[in-house]
Amino acid sequence: MTTYRIGVLYGDGIGPEITKAALEVLKAAASQVDGVQFDLHELPMGWEAIEKYGDPIPQVTKDALKETHGWIMGPHDSAAYPPEFKVNRNPSGELRHYFDLYANIRPAKTMEGVPSIAEQADLVIFRENTEGYYCDRNMYVGAGEWHITPDVVVSAGVFTRKAIERIAHAAFKLAMRRRKKVTIVHKANVIKLGSGLFLNVCREVGKQYPEVRVDDFHIDAMAAHLVRRANFFDVIVTENMFGDILSDLAGELVGSLGLAPSINTNDDQAMAQAAHGSAPDIAGKNVANPIGIMMSTVMLLDWLAARYDDKHVQQVARTMENGIYTTVAEGVKTKDLGGSALTTEFTRAIVERIQR
Ligand code: ATP
């Protein structure tokens, strides 16, 4: 019996509701599979951590996460934190930086039973997570922005060969297991040096994967292409901010931002995290769609299965995934997908299908 130690960070807004829902489905799926168990550790993050430790992502949480195989992170409402916390990286930015979780992998796939703007799509966005135009990620000390005069601010983008090479390799490796196609997204016609380096290094890495077809688009054109023909794309690799924006667009195109999963990884650890935010407008109403964080948990399980070559954990992933897909295909859906099920009702329906 293999035991995986998994951290659980509930977060703010809809975080606790959807994270609890994901854990219920994980437990139901794990109980159907022999040879694997999950040791879940709840750790403070967000408002809860501010109240307890005076820090939305305290050192006790970071230290405890070092002892885990991976963790499930709810969204945080850092825009609402008191001003003293806004000068620091937000909790997910801090964990990505602290653990060097350089690859943010965000799939978008149309689902049976879910009305979507895109007729058909099955793509994966690789968002570089540690530098680029998200200037707060770029500094050893400081926020990567300088207030020169009251009316002038400089915000720094950083691009390094090392970071671009590793995200490009991650993208090309997955492409080899999919439809063998990578699209590089950049803005090298204007940001000639920074975005130019991103494009050139990705192309260089691509030469090591001769079976993979490579094309590239400027970020603005890419937004239009994604809306017009999402099914044309397979693996997309891009820098931090472009990846954040494109993945929200892709999430809506396949049905709802509430569906959009992600994991943040390096070679040794992984953090499951829905691509959406804490949705304060619907928090506490029991209407949030938990699929994003549930499918992020499935991605974490698949990552563990590959990392530890463990068929049992892969079976848990498939059980969870089938439970979610079957429930939606049979018409049980939350409000954002045109259904009427509350978060708890939807979660119970998945658990029942898994136990059937
Ligand atoms: P952040 O900056 O933290 O990513 P955001 O400003 O992008 O947050 P979200 O919190 O993601 O915003 O919410 C955007 C919209 O999508 C809101 O109207 C919200 O209610 C809706 N939304 C987000 N997540 C879900 C979900 N899981 N279920 C249903 N609706 C959601």
Q: Using one digit for the tens of pLDDT, what is the confidence trace for 293-310?
A: 999 999 999 999 999 999
Closest residue CA from atom 18 of ligand 1: 279
User: Which one-letter amino acid corresponds to residue 302?
Assistant: D
Mean pLDDT of 247-274: 92
How far does residue 127's CA lie from ligand 1's centre (Å)?
A: 19
**Each residue's pLDDT tens digit, 150-183:** 999 999 999 999 999 999 999 999 999 999 999 9
Instruction: Yes or no: say if 195 and 159 are a contact pair by the CB < 8 Å rule.
Output: yes
Closest CA to 216 of 5, 332, 204: 204
Burial class of residue 17 in the structure, from the number of CB atoms within 10 Å of its CB (0-12 exposed, 13-18 middle, 19+ buried) = buried
Closest CA to 121 of 103, 139, 104, 107: 107
| CA 238 from centre of chain | 14
For the cut 90, the answer to whether the pLDDT of residue 124 exceeds it is yes
**Each residue's pLDDT tens digit, 192-213:** 999 999 999 999 999 999 999 9
Q: What is the pLDDT of residue 176?
A: 96
Instruction: Yes or no: say if 241 and 134 are a contact pair by the CB < 8 Å rule.
Output: yes
How far does residue 255's CA lie from ligand 1's centre (Å)?
A: 13
Closest CA to 261 of 295, 213, 284: 295
Percent of the chain with pLDDT over 90: 88
Lowest-confidence region among 141-150, 233-242, 286-295: 141-150
Query: Diameter of the chain by CA atoms?
Result: 65
In sequence order, the β-bridge partners of residue 126 are: 105, 237
Q: What is the pLDDT of residue 332?
A: 96
Q: What is the pLDDT of residue 86?
A: 80
Residues with CB under 6 A from ligand 1: 14, 75, 257-258, 276-279, 281-282, 288-289, 292, 336
The CA-based dihedral angle spanning residues 58, 294, 269, 216, taken in that order and rounded to the nearest 10 degrees: -110
Q: Give the C-alpha separation, 39 to 272, whole Å.
A: 16
Tokens linked to 124: 């994966």
For the cut 90, the answer to whether the pLDDT of residue 356 exceeds it is no
Where residue 142 falls among pLDDT bands split at 50, 70, 90?
confident
Q: What is the pLDDT of residue 166?
A: 97
Closest residue CA from atom 9 of ligand 1: 277
How far does residue 177's CA lie from ligand 1's centre (Å)?
A: 31
Residues whose CB falls within 8 Å of the CB of residue 284, separated by 6 or more in sequence, listed in order: 17
Q: What is the pLDDT of residue 139?
A: 82
Model's pTM, two decimal places?
A: 0.90
Helix (H, G, I), strand (E, B) or coil at 269: coil
Instruction: Yes or no: say if 56 and 20 are a contact pair by the CB < 8 Å rule.
Output: no
Q: What is the pLDDT of residue 89?
A: 85
Mean pLDDT of 64-71: 97
| Residue carrying structure tokens 């966005």 | 125
For the cut 80, the answer to whether the pLDDT of residue 350 exceeds it is yes
For the cut 80, the answer to whether the pLDDT of residue 264 exceeds it is yes
Q: What is the pLDDT of residue 257?
A: 86
Q: Give the C-alpha separation, 233 to 10, whole Å.
A: 33
Q: Give the C-alpha separation, 235 to 107, whole Å.
A: 9
Q: Give the C-alpha separation, 138 to 159, whole Å.
A: 9
- The DSSP bridge pattern shows strands 122-128 and 152-155 to be unpaired
Instruction: Yes or no: say if 289 and 271 are a contact pair by the CB < 8 Å rule.
Output: no
How far does residue 276's CA lie from ligand 1's centre (Å)?
A: 5
How far does residue 199's CA lie from ligand 1's centre (Å)?
A: 31
Where residue 269 falls among pLDDT bands split at 50, 70, 90?
very high
Q: Which domains does the chain have, with CATH numbers?
A: 1-101+260-356 (3.40.718.10), 117-253 (3.40.718.10)
Residues whose CB falls within 8 Å of the CB of residue 192, separated by 6 or more in sequence, listed in order: none
Instruction: Yes or no: say if 351 and 24 are a contact pair by the CB < 8 Å rule.
Output: yes
Mean pLDDT of 276-293: 96
For the cut 80, the answer to whether the pLDDT of residue 87 exceeds it is no
| Run of H or E residues at 161 | helix 161-177
Q: What is the pLDDT of residue 137?
A: 79
Mean pLDDT of 65-82: 96
DSSP string, 178-218: TTSEEEEEE-TTTSTTHHHHHHHHHHHHHTT-TTSEEEEEE
Q: What mean pLDDT is reported for the chain?
A: 95
What is the atom index within ligand 1 of the atom nearest the CA of 290? 27
